[in-house]
Structure 1
Amino acid sequence: MATELLSPLLPQRRRGLAVAAAVPLLALLLVVVIFFHAPLPTTVSSPERVDLTLVAGAREKGAVCLDGSPPGYHLRRGFSSGSHNWLIYLEGGAWCNTAKSCFARTVSSFGSSKFMRAVKFSGILGNDHLENPDFYDWNIVVVRYCDGASFAGDAEGEDPDGTKLFFRGLRIWEAVVDELMGKGMDTAKQTLLTGCSAGSLAALLHCDNFRRRFPQEVSVKCLSDAGFFIDVKDLSGERSIWSLFNEVVHLHNVREVLPKDCLQNKDPTECFFASELIKSISTPTFILNSAYDSWQIQNVLAPDGSYPGQAWSSCKTDIRNCSSTQIDVLHGFRKKLVSKLKVAEDKRNWGLFIDSCFTHCQTPFNISWHSPISPRLDDRTIAEAVGDWYFGRRQDVKLIDCEYPCNPTCSSRLSTA
């Protein structure tokens, strides 16, 4: 049975950071249609089913999921002019920050390949040129996320009952890339490393390492979709996301992938945030994010337990329910996120698409990537903006939306978190 590629959020809860449930593409389509009061676009095709491949010799390399099973990926071969181009997409799914929460993932695809099935490719992964005009014929790889720390850790542990756990995200990354190089990626002419949410953070962590795998004449770039998590205090004044990242960094031992220049001056936890990572990345990178990122608003700014009563419950579920006072708070979140992006804005050959949609992860869905009702900036869909940047069709593709609710192409969008 094939499954839809889900919004990359694993259901889990912790004090101050409750992770929202994933939403399949079909549900997203229906929800957005309701809010736009429009019929489904006739150009939406059936997503392509792509089978799972387990990494060969993974156990011998110690490149295993949390439960010790081999990691996996889905490869759809390119064709025509795209047969020598490669797009690597790192699946997201939040993080596990304790032995207990990591053990809980071992009974799902987020911690064990035993539960992984074929997935359906759409959006930036799709093979229809009308829905994915620039990358439809590339070799497309979705790397499954089963380590719990953005493909970054290298350690071992035990759950409270003594069951052994493997925190081997870095080894998984290296083993998958090595295997793909042996399957033709070593002769790539153009490559793009991307991902969504926790997978997007992973793309930033490994961006320069990925660049070093190829000769200088090969075009290598990175795309971060909804991975720009910021260190912001929640409504109760606590640094919930910092606390989570701090626990992840130390439990999984992610220090090896963090920028050395950052580690010389800052705590490793700070260096795990995108705002610090982008200071060290030299590879051309495109940052795609909502300035009102629904996951961050729901789980970082206003997590359960950070506010009295039900004052924020309806607001953080649907931005249209927010009061003027709450909107002011969200504007403050946007202001801080945009200020953190100044580093990227000033970098030559980098790109930005920062919309005002109340959403999280936009590349893997046809409806948000490139469709008649996709969000637009400068009259361009996300797909058009990314393509313009990657192929150099336009100079300085750095688009930052105005404050909610000024953009009619997304002001009524429902969260995909």
Structure 2
Amino acid sequence: MKSFLVISLFALLLPRCSRGFEYWNQTKLVDDGITDVGVPHFVPITLIGSAAAKGAVCMDGSLPGYHLDKGFGSGGNSWLVQLEGGGWCNDINSCLYRKKSRRGSSYYMEKQLQFSGILSNKPEENPDFYNWNRVKIRYCDGASFLGEGYDSAAGLFFRGQRIWLVSMEELMSKGMRYADQALLTGCSAGGLAAIHHCDEFRALFPGNIRVKCLADAGMFLDAIDVAGQRTLRHFFGGVVNLQGVARNLPRACTSRILPVLCFFPQNVLSSIQTPLFLLNTAYDVWQLQESLATKAADPHGYWIDCKMNNAKCNTGQIDFLQGFRNQMLLSVRKFSLSSKNGLFINSCFAHCQSERQDTWFGSNSLLLGTGESLNLSLIGTLTVFKSS
């Protein structure tokens, strides 16, 4: 059997998807409003004291951090490492703004963070990972853990790659070096980071250790917006150039095309050797609102209603969204042919599905076919680690 179960769900919108879309409209950031059942489980932050000497610091020069909930029992030697998401900054002003928040400084980070969804410690909510060593690495660099640079005039550190390296060193010293299986994951900008760092993660472990990656909502496409421009390519270009990302992108890619294009997952998937699972929607709401139908691309507001409620999209807008969906499918077609890889792409209007309890493992999670339950936890774990 394949080590990954390859699944694609390209049907009409499922009724169960609407709740996730409403949630997005209310909060904009998935990890800002995690819903949970029962008593919430909070995990304290740990700052990496050795990071400063290595220049592995947040944008303001503060120490990077992580939250670790130790595994036990059958999961004592299994590790799940999640890279936090939270957008990017592409110019000095946006990075200075980020510098004064938890996205750019550990001074503003929560001292405790709720673990839910794929990080939950409850077997009824997260049956396959609940007793693993579960880690959330905080995101405070603004370039998906890939930057390398410093702007002395603005006092901005772009040290994402160093934060990645020192975080891995820290976790290895905390027992991850003895792992018998390990999974690297992340959502949104963290999902993009999980794709780019997947092979580096694999290289930390001996060849006989089972290591795989899961990217949730990390398939950001180099797509044309409603005005005929490439908004996200322009934005990513600023991220790559300002933060010195090019040196940390695959040379197999940057030797052929512009570095900014290699920041897009669609152009690097073919070079990743480690088994990778993609969890994404064909109608990614973040990309719709922030790269396809932005205020700049839609100055007269024709897309406002459609962006906030897909039921209000007109025929032309639906055709445009179908075109985006088709581009998403095309971008992963070759990837899906590999027996070591896997994917689950659904038709929800959402962004990130592994961090929320109701979309990860809950009574309101997705269904395949007519009544056949296939929760995202099953897809993300049994097919990742337990297939032969």
TM-score by length of 2: 0.89
Query: In structure 1, what is the Cα distance between the partners aligned to 2:95 and 2:102?
Result: 12
Q: Does 1:285 align with 2:276?
A: yes
Q: Secondary structure at the match of 2:367?
A: coil
Q: Does 1:393 align with 2:384?
A: no
Query: In structure 2, what is the Cα distance between the partners aligned to 1:257 and 1:377?
Result: 39
Aligned partner (choices 129, 134, 145) of residue 140 of structure 1? 134
Partner amino acid for 1:269? V
Partner amino acid for 2:73? S
Partner amino acid for 1:293? D
Residue matched to 2:254:
263
User: Where do 1:352-363 residues align within 5 Å?
Assistant: 352-363=343-354
Residue matched to 1:191:
182
Partner amino acid for 1:351? G
Q: Does 1:60 align with 2:63?
A: no
Q: CA deviation at 1:24?
A: 5.7
Query: In structure 2, what is the Cα distance between the partners aligned to 1:320 and 1:25?
Result: 25
Answer 1 or 2: which has greater helix percent: 2
Q: Does 1:126 align with 2:126?
A: no
Q: Secondary structure at the match of 1:309?
A: coil
Residue matched to 2:77:
84
Partner amino acid for 2:210? S
Q: CA deviation at 1:168?
A: 0.1
Q: Secondary structure at the match of 1:214?
A: coil
RMSD over aligned Cα, in angstroms? 1.6
Q: CA deviation at 1:45?
A: 2.6
Q: Secondary structure at the match of 1:384?
A: helix
Q: Deviations over 1:228-269 (max 9, x none)?
A: 000011111110000011111111111232112111211111
Residue matched to 1:332:
323
Aligned partner (choices 320, 325, 329) of residue 311 of structure 2? 320
Q: CA deviation at 1:23?
A: 4.9
Query: In structure 2, what is the Cα distance between the partners aligned to 1:310 and 1:271?
Result: 32
Q: Give the 3 Å change call, closer, same or farther, for CA 24–202 of structure 1 in structure 2.
A: closer
Q: CA deviation at 1:376?
A: 2.8
User: Where do 1:164-203 residues align within 5 Å?
Assistant: 164-203=155-194
Q: Does 1:152 align with 2:159?
A: no
Moved beyond 3 Å, runs of 4+ = 23-26
Query: In structure 1, what is the Cα distance between the partners aligned to 2:299 and 2:154?
Result: 38
Q: Is the 8 A contact 1:131 1:370 kept in 2?
A: yes
Query: In structure 1, what is the Cα distance between the partners aligned to 2:277 and 2:207?
Result: 19
Q: Does 1:114 align with 2:121?
A: no
Q: CA deviation at 1:89?
A: 0.3
Partner amino acid for 2:377? A
Q: Deviations over 1:60-118 (max 9, x none)?
A: 10000000000010000001100100000000011000111111111110000001111
Query: In structure 2, what is the Cα distance between the partners aligned to 1:376 and 1:102?
Result: 41
Q: Count residues in correspondence.
A: 359
Q: Deviations over 1:21-72 (max 9, x none)?
A: 425665x75xxxxxxxxxxxxx933331000100122111000000000001
Q: Secondary structure at the match of 1:310?
A: coil
Query: In structure 1, what is the Cα distance between the partners aligned to 2:32 and 2:39?
Result: 11
Q: Which runs of 5+ in 2 are unaligned?
A: 1-19, 21-26
Q: Secondary structure at the match of 1:244?
A: helix
Q: Percent identity, aligned pairs only?
A: 46
Q: Is the 8 A contact 2:192 2:215 kept in 1?
A: yes
Query: In structure 2, what is the Cα distance between the partners aligned to 1:339 and 1:165?
Result: 38
Q: Give the 3 Å change call, closer, same or farther, for CA 390–154 of structure 1 in structure 2.
A: same
Query: In structure 1, what is the Cα distance between the partners aligned to 2:32 and 2:363?
Result: 16
Partner amino acid for 1:119? L
Residue matched to 1:218:
209
Q: Is the 8 A contact 1:221 1:285 kept in 2?
A: yes
Q: Secondary structure at the match of 1:52?
A: strand
Partner amino acid for 1:66? M
Q: Give the 3 Å change call, closer, same or farther, for CA 24–196 of structure 1 in structure 2.
A: closer
